[in-house]
Amino acid sequence: MSNIEQTLSIIKPDAVERNLENEIKEIFKINGFKIVKEKKIQIEKTEAEKFYKVHETKPFYNDLCSYLSSGPIVVMVLENDNAVLGNRELMGATNPKEAKEGTIRKKYGISIDKNSVHGSDSLENAKVEIDFFFKD
Ligand code: IDP
Ligand code: MG
């Protein structure tokens, strides 16, 4: 049975800066993801703080929010069968050093903070994150 879902993906500043936008989009498409919405934006630090609110008690929170707002990002709604988990698998582990061969973070990630992509971690969070960027 098919289970079509939508998830939020972000190509983070380190990847946009290295002109990896098209290569990364191609990887999503080859793996069956449809990019149903997308925009290239730069967000304010205060918006990054809202987006990453779940991490507000973490020691890396401030740096994380500075980083996400440090340059242009590409925000996308991806659609696929089991998109949420499928995107997490395609992205690979948070720390590129621990990410499996063939994953986006293994291929492009520089470090645990500059790990090239974001992806929603549950269907519930996917809905919240899609609304965060695309609610009109
Ligand atoms: P995820 O992006 O794989 O879902 P999360 O644990 O949700 O990972 O963390 C959000 C982001 O915060 C990560 O993608 C990474 O950029 C950053 N981050 C996570 N853990 C650390 C850390 O220990 N040091 C620095 N940055 C971190
Ligand atoms: Mg996360």
Q: Give the tens place of pLDDT for each residue, 69-104.
A: 999 999 999 999 999 999 999 999 999 999 999 999
Is position 118 annotated as part of the catalytic site?
yes
- Judged against a pLDDT cut of 90, whether residue 41 lies above it is answered with yes
Q: How confident is the model at residue 136 (pLDDT cuts 50, 70, 90)?
A: confident
Q: Which of 13, 75, 118, 133 is catalytic?
A: 118
pLDDT, residue 24, reads: 98
pLDDT, residue 65, reads: 98
Q: How confident is the model at residue 108 (pLDDT cuts 50, 70, 90)?
A: very high
Q: Which of 8, 100, 112, 116 to mutate to test the pocket of ligand 1 (most atoms within 8 A of CB)?
A: 112
Which residue is closest in CA terms to ligand 1's atom 8?
94
Residues within 6 Å of ligand 1 by CB: 55, 60, 64, 94, 112-113, 115, 118, 121
**Cα-based distances in Å from 101 to 9, 94, 95, 107:** 20, 14, 13, 8
Q: Among 3.30.70.141, 3.20.20.140, 3.90.580.10, 3.40.640.10, name the CATH number for the domain at 4-133.
A: 3.30.70.141
Q: Which of 64, 66, 89, 110 to mutate to test the pocket of ligand 1 (most atoms within 8 A of CB)?
A: 64
Q: pTM for this one?
A: 0.98
